[in-house]
Structure 1
């Protein structure tokens, strides 16, 4: 298993065609893992998914890789590349402090797809929450053998490694996409 000290992660960048194809391959697994994580954490630490407390399961996973994978990073390991992705959750709007935006309600278009807020014709990602995902791209087979690895859940720790009470599965756009090994 790779550690941050062993990796040369690329800088954050827009998804490549291969990155989009790789995440599309495991999109349904990612959605299932989000819902399973939410149910599991709600049993023993509801703060983890508290930003989604008023969001239905359906709306929480209403993203598509093509439209909502906004940033990726990758690194080569001895067992093949890993790819980290930042996926926009359209149903979660945040304020500038990374808290739920007051009075936010999910707006849907005529096809039932959640609308996004735009600024000057471009989606304003600073208004949304994100899920960070890690996948593995084993050698050979193109994207046919892509493996979903994990979702980042931030169990905040202070400089001494002690829990500081911060639990967060949904990240603000301002949080950098860093290596995680969960």
Structure 2
């Protein structure tokens, strides 16, 4: 398993055709995982997805890869390529601005696009003091939040 110390990510950039293709392979899975995450967190900590409050599941995942994957980064590993993506949620636009999810996918070597896999969504517990309980939760990021490696 890779760690942030072992990975060298390229700079954030607009997605190229290969990234769009990889994320499109996973489109159905990405939407299902976002809805699954929202339902899970709504049972335990509704603040995680509170920026989507009032949206149906279909509205939450009304994105397309071509229009809403706005930024990617990737890093090679011995077991393939890790790709991070910043994906706009078009129906989320509140006092904080547009809403985005950060997605991590993996493309193993030597098989083309057929084995691209979803890995995780970035969700964060906000802890100003590490030893203390979280003061906030966030699955929907702002545009300004950097697209950085996460290992969840």
Query: Do Structure 1 and Structure 2 share a fold, with TM-score over 0.5?
Result: yes
Which residue matches 1:26?
26
Which residue matches 2:122?
152
1:80/1:138 contact within 8 Å kept: yes
1:10/1:75 contact within 8 Å kept: yes
How far apart, in 1, do the equivalents of 2:140 and 2:55 lie? Answer: 12
Which residue matches 1:143?
113
Aligned pair in 2 of structure 1 residues 2, 163: CA closer, same or farther (>3 Å)? farther
1:162 CA displacement: 3.7
How far apart, in 2, do the equivalents of 1:24 and 1:11 lie? Answer: 22
Which residue matches 1:172?
142
- How big is the alpha-carbon RMSD for the aligned residues of Structure 1 and Structure 2? 1.1
How far apart, in 2, do the equivalents of 1:75 and 1:144 lie? Answer: 19
1:94/1:172 contact within 8 Å kept: no
How far apart, in 1, do the equivalents of 2:122 and 2:41 lie? Answer: 13
Tell me the TM-score normalized by structure 2: 0.96
Tell me the TM-score normalized by structure 1: 0.80
Q: Which runs of 4+ in 1 moved over 6 A?
A: none
1:78 CA displacement: 1.6
Aligned pair in 2 of structure 1 residues 162, 179: CA closer, same or farther (>3 Å)? farther
Q: Is 1:60 the equivalent of 2:60?
A: yes
User: Please, which runs of 5 or more residues in structure 1 have no aligned partner?
Assistant: 99-126
1:83/1:135 contact within 8 Å kept: yes
2:105/2:116 contact within 8 Å kept: yes
> In terms of Rg, which structure is larger?
1
Residues 72-91 of structure 1 correspond to what in structure 2 (within 5 A)? Answer: 72-91=72-91
Select the residue among 128, 133, 147 that pairs with 2:98: 128
How far apart, in 1, do the equivalents of 2:114 and 2:125 lie? Answer: 33
